[in-house]
Amino acid sequence: MEVVKAYSLMLKDGIYNLNRITLSTMLMLVLSQGCVGLGRQIHGQVVKFGFGAYVFVGSPLVDMYAKMGLVSEAKQVFDEVQERSMLMFNTMITGLLSCGVVEDSKRLLHDMKERVSISWTKWNGGEVIDLFRDMGLEGMAMKQYTFGNVLTACGGLMV
């Protein structure tokens, strides 16, 4: 596999090649190839060399674990990242939803300090309509993307 070769070559040249950008890129490549074992190895490198606190690395880690169906690992990474940006929250919410963990994703949404309409549009079906109503009650600005998701959700409802 090309991902394994690239990572091995990078490490062969020395650990000074490890930085937020290379680790983030490697995590995205690992995800695209479905290499769980290598993803865990890279996660170990992230922790060992102190990159775990960076959102730029944490978000791809959360995404990788969630998309591979490893929800507990995704939650652990999310909990360990100290600086939780809106990107981290949205990545975790999307990951939880893709794994069918709807209630945890709702709790996480309500824990967010800053919300934008995209944070509310990750659900499907009737829940989107309820969340849309909540957005209006909270005075959130509606975007074209928001309306599109609500209409799509309405189209998927069984009457």
- pLDDT value, residue 159: 44
Compute the distance between CA of residue 14 and CA of residue 57 in angstroms, rounded to an integer. Answer: 19
| Long-range CB contacts for residues 5-10, cutoff 8 Å, separation at least 24 | 7/38, 7/42
Helix axes 86-98, 71-80, angle to 10 degrees: 170
- pLDDT value, residue 128: 63
- pLDDT value, residue 62: 94
- pLDDT value, residue 61: 94
Q: What are phi and psi of 121, to 5 degrees?
A: -105, 25
- pLDDT value, residue 6: 75
Residue numbers in the chain where pLDDT is lower than 70: 1, 113-129, 131-132, 135, 140-159
Q: For 64-80, what is each residue's pLDDT tens digit?
A: 999 999 999 999 999 98
